[in-house]
Structure 1
Amino acid sequence: MSTTATATDSTTSEEVTGEAARRRTFAVISHPDAGKSTLTEALALHAAAITSAGAVHGKGERRGVTSDWMAMEQDRGISITSAALRIDYGDCVLNLLDTPGHADFSEDTYRVLSAVDCAIMLLDSAKGLEPQTLKLFEVCRARNMPVITFVNKWDRPGREPLELLDEIEQRIGLRPTPMNWPVGIAGDFRGLIDRADGSYTKLTRTPGGATRAREERVDPEQAAQAEGAEWTQAQEEIDLLGEIEAHFDEASFLAGESSPVLFGAALPNFGVSQLLEALVNLAPAPEDPVDADGAVRPVGAPFSGQVFKMQANMDKAHRDRMAFLRIASGRFERGMVLTHANTGKPFATKYTQAVFGSERSTIETAYPGDVIALVNAAALSVGDTLYAGKKVHFPPIPSFAPEHFAVARAKDAGRYKQFQRGIAQLDAEGVVQVLSSDVRGEQAPVLAAVGPLQFDVVAHRMSEEFRAPIELTHLDYSLARRTDAGSAPTAHALSGAEVLTRRADGELLVLVHNKYRLRVIKRDNPDLVLEPLLAGGVEAEE
């Protein structure tokens, strides 16, 4: 290699490393109705990416949230599928991956968590830690992912702030380190004290929270006179935090042992700018990725990335299939030809876009930490690796253990080809897991889901997008376990069990009625292979 080529490669690597350092790629995790989509809107609003925030349940002429682009999401006021929002903020590029809040769509959230470097754990000030939040946090813990906590809805009646901090530490073992502190109890939100310098920011609500809240820096002495007893109480609580040494520690935060805590209210846009600053200053930039063999690939190395989500028909006019890919290393340039690690075949990237909710724009270059959308990606599936230069293959993204099962059949036999195509596409996207068996046949695949609302999404999309309405027959199973060819005949003959094959990876799965039946089967058949499935890095419970 010539000296000029070596110098060029070095310059490119330095450029990529510098650009990667500017990236912050994160997801928001929460229980349903904690205000996740509203916070997503507020973050985009404060970063000047949009000029007016919508409401989760759009009323009148107000549009729905930017990240909720699917018709079902806008109709029901819930997030069904994850969305990628790229936001330029100061000298940083924020890649915000909004995720479904409803527990029935957990698997989409688990896939998204494999593509981020940090998570915002959103808590309702009145409810604290809820089941779905706990479940998602365990996935973050399994990945040693740094977590920033945002206590939302402080403008509404809720619990004491010290009580919420104690719950975080006691229930999930994460040491809370508040970065700011509210003046006024939940429901009487006056402003925020910055613990680092003692400054006070008074917040004034804007009509409907549609524009940025007015923030006014007030001298602490003036604030003490204006706020009276609420100021005194806040200062006493801050003093207590100092006594127990609840101070931010970067090493323990990055190790997933402690969590910076911020207070605010997303709907009226209180405290959102402070959260943005915390993301920029505290959240980690993309690190050197590790491949399936345990080898480190520097972020400055030639391009590599992994598909973490498939989505079809975001553009109804074109009926396309889009692959969301997180860049792990190197600089992406539109039009470059990559190699598909699974097949060794070339993959052209002529049509590549950045996605902001339902809006798209062509992207020319991107760097580690960025999320790009590859259009017409019929050859790709969730977990696939694309690369340039030296071959690399990243670890697969594990599927979540399904708990609900239903047999799907086409209502119109004349639409069977559309039925097959639709079911295969939804399986590739990860909307549901599609299982098959020789007994049931291809005309009656079994759909496996984390929650029953996934079946509603399937029925809606099969009817609206593929014009192949389906009927669903729910099965009385609640557990799935992995088995092998040697154990399959025995398992299939058991009462209360059924053996199916998952098409995507060819694995044999045994469906069982419930955990009690599973215990009996294992007791009576100790040599039978019945292995738990992995749930996003967390082993499913027996």
Structure 2
Amino acid sequence: MVREYPLEKSRNIGIMAHIDAGKTTCTERILYYTGRIHKVGETHEGASQMDWMEQEQERGITITSAATTCYWKSNRINIIDTPGHVDFTVEVERSLRVLDGSVAIFDAKNGVEPQSETVWRQADKYNVPRICFVNKMDKTGANFYYSVNTMVERLKANVVPIQIPIGASDDFTGIIDLVEMNARIYKDELGQDIEVTEIPDDYKEKAEEYREKLLESVADHNDKLLEKFLEGE
């Protein structure tokens, strides 16, 4: 039986990025973690749920936008995985017209890339709210802070981290949640076994620095919170 959700509990969310930043791989993980699928398909094996065309499976890239649905708690999320190759950018624009929001994915080593700028401008055109996800933190040369800086410099985006990484490349072990102010350590390859613990001592100063930036940014958009911020609360 199809579950019915009121409009306020339903969202159309797009996944957009430069080619090879990991859009389809991230979408596959979302489907896995929400219980929509029970085995993670890899794009290089032509086994991902979203790349259904024969040409996509052969090349390991997304050619046309693909949509699917998953459920999280009491919400229905319609996910639209968009192409990252410049030749298929019209597919991105077609999808943006119906989105409530989007996830912009960035390669942790490369940061903002040419097609990142294109899809960002397209999202600006349709006033689509965005959250940025820095992917491939376990990749050699990964640098979260470099990636964030490229968003500010090249996209002129108002980027405020809500998480910062613990380590990078082979030493990447988890993230620090700047809202909850705790550390989340990944204990297995799929990221299902997560240990929530205190922030490591050598990351406490950086965590406080970035939490302060987060609170300051939020306060700029909320008068009551701004008063608390100025009063040191």
- What's the TM-score bracket when you normalise by the shorter of the two chains? 0.7 to 0.9
Q: How far, CA to CA, are the matches of 2:143 and 2:11 in structure 1?
A: 31
Identify the residue that residue 205 of structure 1 maps to in structure 2: 188
TM-score for the superposition, normalised by structure 2: 0.86
Q: Of 198, 204, 227, which aligns to 1:235?
A: 204
Once the two structures are superposed, residues 94-126 of structure 1 have per-residue CA deviations (whole angstroms, 9 ceiling, x without a partner) of 000011121111111110111111111100000
Q: How far, CA to CA, are the matches of 1:159 and 1:238 in structure 2?
A: 19
Q: Determine helix, strand or coil for the equivalent of 2:153.
A: helix
Asked if residue 36 in structure 1 is aligned to residue 23 in structure 2, the reply is yes
Q: Which amino acid aligns with 2:124?
A: R
Once the two structures are superposed, residues 130-159 of structure 1 have per-residue CA deviations (whole angstroms, 9 ceiling, x without a partner) of 000100100111222111000000111234
Q: How far, CA to CA, are the matches of 2:208 and 2:145 in structure 1?
A: 12
Asked if residue 99 in structure 1 is aligned to residue 82 in structure 2, the reply is yes
Identify the residue that residue 54 of structure 1 maps to in structure 2: 41
Q: How far, CA to CA, are the matches of 1:205 and 1:241 in structure 2?
A: 27
Once the two structures are superposed, residues 471-503 of structure 1 have per-residue CA deviations (whole angstroms, 9 ceiling, x without a partner) of xxxxxxxxxxxxxxxxxxxxxxxxxxxxxxxxx
Q: How far, CA to CA, are the matches of 1:250 and 1:115 in structure 2?
A: 30
Q: Shift of residue 215 of structure 1?
A: 1.1
Identify the residue that residue 131 of structure 2 maps to in structure 1: 148
Q: Which amino acid aligns with 1:235?
A: K
Q: How far, CA to CA, are the matches of 2:220 and 2:98 in structure 1?
A: 22
Q: How far, CA to CA, are the matches of 2:194 and 2:214 in structure 1?
A: 29
Q: How far, CA to CA, are the matches of 1:123 and 1:162 in structure 2?
A: 12
Taking the TM superposition and a 5 Å limit, the aligned residue runs for 1:474-513 are none
Q: Determine helix, strand or coil for the equivalent of 2:160.
A: strand
Q: Which amino acid aligns with 1:114?
A: R
Change (3 A) 1:135 1:250: farther
Change (3 A) 1:139 1:36: same
Percent sequence identity is 28
Once the two structures are superposed, residues 13-69 of structure 1 have per-residue CA deviations (whole angstroms, 9 ceiling, x without a partner) of xxx9x81110121111100100111001000001110001110111xxxx6100011
Q: How far, CA to CA, are the matches of 1:215 and 1:205 in structure 2?
A: 8
Asked if residue 217 in structure 1 is aligned to residue 196 in structure 2, the reply is yes
Q: Of 110, 114, 124, which aligns to 2:97?
A: 114
Q: Determine helix, strand or coil for the equivalent of 1:57.
A: helix
Q: Shift of residue 173 of structure 1?
A: 1.5
Q: Which amino acid aligns with 2:192?
A: A
Asked if residue 127 in structure 1 is aligned to residue 110 in structure 2, the reply is yes
Asked if residue 21 in structure 1 is aligned to residue 8 in structure 2, the reply is yes
Higher fraction of helix: 2
Q: Which amino acid aligns with 1:239?
A: E
Q: Which amino acid aligns with 2:15?
A: V
Q: How far, CA to CA, are the matches of 1:245 and 1:201 in structure 2?
A: 19
Q: How far, CA to CA, are the matches of 1:245 and 1:48 in structure 2?
A: 31
Q: How far, CA to CA, are the matches of 1:32 and 1:134 in structure 2?
A: 12
Identify the residue that residue 151 of structure 2 maps to in structure 1: 168
Q: Of 66, 70, 77, which aligns to 1:87?
A: 70
Q: Determine helix, strand or coil for the equivalent of 1:176.
A: coil
Q: How far, CA to CA, are the matches of 1:158 and 1:250 in structure 2?
A: 34
Change (3 A) 1:179 1:247: farther
C-alpha contact (below 8 Å) 1:178/1:248 kept by paired residues: no
Structure with more contact order per residue of length (Cα contacts < 8 Å, sep ≥ 6):
2
The total of aligned residue pairs comes to 218
Q: How far, CA to CA, are the matches of 1:33 and 1:250 in structure 2?
A: 36
Q: How far, CA to CA, are the matches of 1:98 and 1:40 in structure 2?
A: 7
Q: Shift of residue 174 of structure 1?
A: 1.1
Q: Shift of residue 162 of structure 1?
A: 2.6
C-alpha contact (below 8 Å) 2:111/2:146 kept by paired residues: no
RMSD over aligned Cα, in angstroms? 2.2
Q: Which amino acid aligns with 2:53?
A: M
Q: Of 62, 70, 77, which aligns to 2:53?
A: 70
Q: Which amino acid aligns with 1:22?
A: K
Q: Which runs of 5+ in 2 are unaligned?
A: 222-233
Q: Which amino acid aligns with 2:168?
A: I
C-alpha contact (below 8 Å) 2:110/2:147 kept by paired residues: no
Change (3 A) 1:165 1:97: same
Q: How far, CA to CA, are the matches of 1:72 and 1:131 in structure 2?
A: 24
Q: How far, CA to CA, are the matches of 2:25 and 2:169 in structure 1?
A: 18
Q: How far, CA to CA, are the matches of 1:251 and 1:66 in structure 2?
A: 41
C-alpha contact (below 8 Å) 2:69/2:77 kept by paired residues: yes
Q: How far, CA to CA, are the matches of 1:245 and 1:194 in structure 2?
A: 11
Q: Shift of residue 70 of structure 1?
A: 0.5
C-alpha contact (below 8 Å) 1:29/1:99 kept by paired residues: yes
Q: Shift of residue 128 of structure 1?
A: 0.1
Q: How far, CA to CA, are the matches of 1:200 and 1:84 in structure 2?
A: 33
C-alpha contact (below 8 Å) 1:158/1:187 kept by paired residues: no
Q: Larger Rg: 1 or 2?
A: 1
Q: Which amino acid aligns with 1:215?
A: I
Q: Determine helix, strand or coil for the equivalent of 2:14.
A: strand
Q: How far, CA to CA, are the matches of 1:248 and 1:190 in structure 2?
A: 27
